[in-house]
Amino acid sequence: MTITEPAVEEPIEEMRERQGLLARFRSSWAQWWFAYAMLSPVVIVIAILVLYPLAQGVWLSFTDATGKTMGDVRNPPSYEFIGLKNYVRILSGELKNSVGQNFWSVFGRTVIWTGANVFFHYTIGLGLAITLNRKFVGRSLYRIILLIPWAMPAYITASSWRFLFNETSGPINAILSIFGIAAVPWLGQPIPALVAVIMVNVWLGIPFMMVALLGGLQGIPEELYQAAEVDGASPWQKFRLVTMPLLRPVSSTVILLGVIWTFNMFVIIFLVTGGGPASSTEILVTFAYAEAFTVPARNFAVASTYGILILSILVVFASIYRKIAERSGDSVWS
Amino acid sequence: MRGLKKFAVLFAVLALLAAACSSSSDETTTTAAAGGETTTTAAAGGETTTTAAVADETTTTEASMSESTELTLWHTFNEGETPTLDGLVSACEAETGHTVNVELVPFAEAQNKFKTAAQAGEAPDIMRAEIAWIAEFADLNYLAPITGMVSAEDADDYLEAPSAYGKYAGQLWAVPQATDAPAVYYNKALLEENGIAVPTTMEELKAAGIAFNEATGTPGIGTIKGGYWTQIFVWAFGGQLMNDDGSEILINSPEAVAGLDFYVSMQNDGAIQEALDFANEYGNVQEAFKAGEIAFNINGPWQSSDLLGGDAFVDDPSNLGIFPAPPGPGGQGSPVGGHSWVISADAMDAGIDAAAYEVISCLNSTDAQVTWAVSNNILPTRASAYETAEVQANAVIAAFGEAMKVAHARPVIPAGGAIYTAFDANVQAAFQGTMTGQEAMDNIATAWVELGLGS
């Protein structure tokens, strides 16, 4: 008789888990059908706009689809499944462009590009946010001015900077010449060109970091600073022991976002240098574009493979980053 | 009752979704509804459907044969040229009775935009395509052949080099609208001031650039350091890009390498600008030449209106001199470029390609070409246009007519535009000094093999 007792006592949750999947769905449907119905438009739209193209991209990366085999209104598609061949060709470095750039050389540059950009975005953005977090005359005007880079269309930004970098008549070289420095071929040699595009993107990305971090700073209670002052903390100690730890939830989120955005930042490089000179400022996204769309029969299969590789790299990065952030006790991630 | 309510809610949600999408797919919905009706008829009796289909076809044919057809036209003209096009289109609408919807597509986007549209079956009926795109579009089955449409008279009248770009795989796909070939512009007053004679060979041109540099401190010649422009030097030294059908790559032959080495030596010896600023170079060279800071400028006829507006020429247009790209030790010539009119395969499927050709034929008449030449300094592609008094009176066109005589046609291959991607990157590397001429040309040859050339 005592054997049946635990079954009666069993919590509903556990009982649910014992039921079959279908039965569980049925009971959940009976209870929540209205919520599902309300969710369905979003689910359908996401499926059409995100999941379907993603699945299509994954599928194409396993084929030999080009503009010619892709088919059109008159001809049916004629591309074939070729397994992991695209991945092998790209990851082995076999697929390279005419000046010898391959996936790994471009990946290395993409890491430098992303690291340098996010580092300067964060440090300069934090500096400006701390400055703007104090009360001084004209603060709101400063804030608006500092937001301008963000509000400007990328095309305008790119062409303005291309003008500034002009080797013969650009203002930057004109200023350098005042100090007796010879004209720098900003967009003509590999290293200056990489420095140049990073400068443009740093300029462009600071406002976002500044605004996000300013929001984080304003959420830190004033009392903590007062308490630190009572304990005799120096400004540096206050920054290190109060500001930084309390800013961490915001910081870790914006840095992750910054890395993803910068890694995939196409327009600036495309519009300022076009990936040149001689492919020396190409990052993965611009490289994939050049490899896919500047050949006559557009190589959709290789382009998709690059897309999936870039996505995989970012997913791996984001999950590792999340683990680290969780371990250091950020509540926003759990 | 409850089940009914569920359905009602689901239906309402889906209806909402459908309503949100419907604004963009109105046409599709209508077609689908029409299709539905036909199906119903089919269910009633097979014969009825057949009749309906025949009736439908007749209607379509009648529509296309009628006097007025609505056509779309994509072009890549610039701001200064668009008013001329608008004027010609209005005149041709009146002449042919068709309606033409003109749409400007920026040149840089036009090639990809056309391919994307054509793949979806939504290509414009008429397009002004750059000559290097024609073989590629034809190879993808995106164009309508016009072999039988061009009259024998017209075929004779069109210049040989520009119309060669429309011939691919045994068919004619395009008629040339404009042609061009770079030549050397020079500032007569600056040459006189510095005691420099008009060069007649490549060596003399280089020497003139150096002499100007010694006299003024600025290299005398402005050029663009890209593949397109390197061709002039490749041909001058007896090289070639490839043979006519692209089955043999010749870009890394000793002659072609000598051409690139000579071009790079012009930079290293101070004959052309030393600045390495590929993104701004084109504009910088034009500004320097317009301001009278440099004496020579290798460029095409399309730049002439802009150059004549510069400080050095605005008061005295006769100060602008033009001579064909000078001969080198192995040959002479500059690349023939230009734009042609093509008709899309979609227009052919819709049965309106004949109407499209009527419009093209009007837009490309001798009179129209004279209008282009006079208003925009665009080089005509018809021999008869060069014979008119108006064209002969135009000094710029007359000078470029000379350059056309020694110009080279580029290979007519589907990869015609794509060959410059690797060409540009490696020529840039040679100018940077990170590669020798031979290395650069070898890389280009390897890249071209990947484009399917050389076999």
Give pLDDT, residue B322: 94
Give pLDDT, residue A149: 87
How confident is the model over B353-391, as pLDDT tens digits?
Answer: 999 999 999 999 999 999 999 888 889 999 899 889 988
User: Measured between CB atoms, which of A34, A70, A99 is closest to B9?
Assistant: A34
Same domain, A145 and A260: yes
- Between chains, do B14 and A278 touch, taking CB under 8 Å as contact? no
Same domain, A172 and A315: yes
The amino acid that residue A189 corresponds to is Q
Nearest CA in chain A to B431: A188
Out of A4-13, A319-328, B38-47, B308-317, pick the least confident: B38-47
Whether A82 is in a domain gets the answer no
pLDDT at B46 over 80: no
* Cβ contacts of B288 on chain A, cutoff 8 Å: 168
pLDDT at A1 over 80: no
Same domain, A132 and A28: no
CATH no. for residue A318? 1.10.3720.10
Nearest CA in chain B to A69: B140
Question: Rounded distance, CA A240 to CA A252, Å?
Answer: 16
- Between chains, do A41 and B446 touch, taking CB under 8 Å as contact? no
Same domain, A44 and A106: no
Interface mutation target, options A98, A160, A269, chain B, most CBs of B under 10 Å: A98
A39/chain B closest Cα distance in angstroms = 9
User: Measured between CB atoms, which of A44, A170, A295 is closest to B418?
Assistant: A295
Q: Which residue has the tokens 């200023």?
A: A175
The mean pLDDT of B422-434, rounded to a whole number, is 91
Nearest CA in chain B to A45: B17
The mean pLDDT of B43-49, rounded to a whole number, is 38
Same domain, A113 and A205: yes
Calculate the average pLDDT of chain B: 85
pLDDT at A191 over 70: yes
Confidence class for position A16, pLDDT limits 50, 70, 90: low
A327/chain B closest Cα distance in angstroms = 43
pLDDT at B241 over 50: yes
Confidence class for position A138, pLDDT limits 50, 70, 90: confident
* Cβ contacts of A166 on chain B, cutoff 8 Å: 277, 280, 284
Cα–Cα distances in angstroms (integers) from residue B316 to residues A264, B195, B253, B323, B392, in the given order: 52, 20, 44, 18, 20
User: Measured between CB atoms, which of B13, B142, B275 is closest to A40?
Assistant: B13
Out of A192-196, A216-220, B447-451, pick the least confident: B447-451
Confidence class for position B319, pLDDT limits 50, 70, 90: very high
Whether A89 is in a domain gets the answer no
Give pLDDT, residue B59: 42
Interface mutation target, options B280, B287, B349, B419, chain A, most CBs of A under 10 Å: B280
The mean pLDDT of B122-130, rounded to a whole number, is 95
How confident is the model over B165-179, as pLDDT tens digits?
Answer: 999 989 999 999 999
pLDDT at B132 over 50: yes
Nearest CA in chain B to A70: B119
Give pLDDT, residue B366: 94
B426 CB within 8 Å of a chain A CB: yes
A220: tokens are 């830190």
Same domain, A155 and A15: no
- In terms of residue numbers, what domain contains A248? 101-296+303-333
B345 CB within 8 Å of a chain A CB: yes
- Between chains, do A278 and B425 touch, taking CB under 8 Å as contact? yes
Packing angle, helices B131-139 and B107-119, rounded to 10: 10
Whether A81 is in a domain gets the answer no
How confident is the model over B269-279, as pLDDT tens digits?
Answer: 999 998 888 88
Give pLDDT, residue B18: 60
Give pLDDT, residue B8: 67
How confident is the model over B66-110, as pLDDT tens digits?
Answer: 468 899 999 998 888 899 999 999 999 999 999 999 999 998 889
Nearest CA in chain B to A281: B425
Whether A316 is in a domain gets the answer yes
Same domain, A157 and A230: yes
Kindly report the three-state secondary structure assignment for every residue of chain B: CHHHHHHHHHHHHHHHHHHHHHCCCHHHHHHHHHHHHHHHHHHHCHHHHHHHHHHHHHHHHHHHHCCCCEEEEEECCCCCCHHHHHHHHHHHHHHHCCEEEEEECCHHHHHHHHHHHHHCCCCCCEEEEEHHHHHHHHHCCCECCCCCCCCHHHHHHECHHHHHCCEECCEECEEEEEEECCEEEEEHHHHHHCCCCCCCCHHHHHHHHHHHHHHHCCCCEECCCCHHHHHHHHHHCCCCCECCCCCCECCCCHHHHHHHHHHHHHHHCCCECCCCCCCCHHHHHHHHHHCCCCCEEEECHHHHHHHHCCCCCCCCHHHEEEEECCCCCCCCCCECEEEEEEEEHHHHHCCCHHHHHHHHHHHCCHHHHHHHHHHHCCECCEHHHHHCHHHHCCHHHHHHHHHHHCCECCCCCCCCCCHHHHHHHHHHHHHHCCCCHHHHHHHHHHHHHHCCCCC
pLDDT at B9 over 80: no
Nearest CA in chain B to A74: B121
Confidence class for position B294, pLDDT limits 50, 70, 90: very high
pLDDT at B64 over 60: no
Whether A254 is in a domain gets the answer yes
Calculate the average pLDDT of chain A: 86
pLDDT at B57 over 50: no
Which residue did the predictor score with more confidence, A284 or B418?
Answer: A284
- Between chains, do A44 and B140 touch, taking CB under 8 Å as contact? no
- Between chains, do A167 and B275 touch, taking CB under 8 Å as contact? yes
pLDDT at B454 over 70: yes
Same domain, A56 and A179: no
Q: How many CB pairs under 8 A join A and B?
A: 136
Whether A107 is in a domain gets the answer yes
Give pLDDT, residue B11: 66
Same domain, A19 and A154: no
User: Measured between CB atoms, which of B275, B287, B447 is closest to A98?
Assistant: B447
pLDDT at A333 over 60: no
Give pLDDT, residue B246: 80
pLDDT at B243 over 90: no
Confidence class for position A27, pLDDT limits 50, 70, 90: confident
Task: Using a pLDDT cut of 70, give the percent of chain B over it.
Answer: 85
pLDDT at A93 over 90: no
* Cβ contacts of B280 on chain A, cutoff 8 Å: 162-163, 165-168, 170, 187
Domains of chain B and any CATH numbers: 68-179+337-405 (3.40.190.10), 183-335+418-450 (3.40.190.10)
pTM of the model: 0.77
Same domain, A115 and A27: no
How confident is the model over A287-301, as pLDDT tens digits?
Answer: 988 877 776 667 889
Give pLDDT, residue B12: 67
Confidence class for position B58, pLDDT limits 50, 70, 90: very low
The mean pLDDT of B413-422, rounded to a whole number, is 84
The mean pLDDT of B414-418, rounded to a whole number, is 80
- Between chains, do A44 and B278 touch, taking CB under 8 Å as contact? no
B226/chain A closest Cα distance in angstroms = 11
Same domain, A122 and A271: yes
B418 CB within 8 Å of a chain A CB: yes
How confident is the model over A45-72, as pLDDT tens digits?
Answer: 999 999 999 999 999 999 998 877 887 7
- Between chains, do B280 and A38 touch, taking CB under 8 Å as contact? no
User: Measured between CB atoms, which of B14, B276, B444 is closest to A167?
Assistant: B276
Interface mutation target, options B115, B224, B267, B278, chain A, most CBs of A under 10 Å: B278
Whether A69 is in a domain gets the answer no
Same domain, A10 and A114: no
The mean pLDDT of A30-37, rounded to a whole number, is 86
- Between chains, do A44 and B279 touch, taking CB under 8 Å as contact? no
Nearest CA in chain B to A293: B112
- Between chains, do A277 and B141 touch, taking CB under 8 Å as contact? no
The mean pLDDT of A16-34, rounded to a whole number, is 77
pLDDT at B453 over 90: no
A51/chain B closest Cα distance in angstroms = 18
The mean pLDDT of B49-59, rounded to a whole number, is 41
- In total, how many domains does chain A have? 2
Confidence class for position A183, pLDDT limits 50, 70, 90: confident
Peptide bond into A277 cis (omega under 30): yes
Give pLDDT, residue A308: 94
Which residue did the predictor score with more confidence, A151 or A125?
Answer: A125
Interface of B with A in 6-25 (CB under 8 A): 6, 9-10, 13-14, 16-17
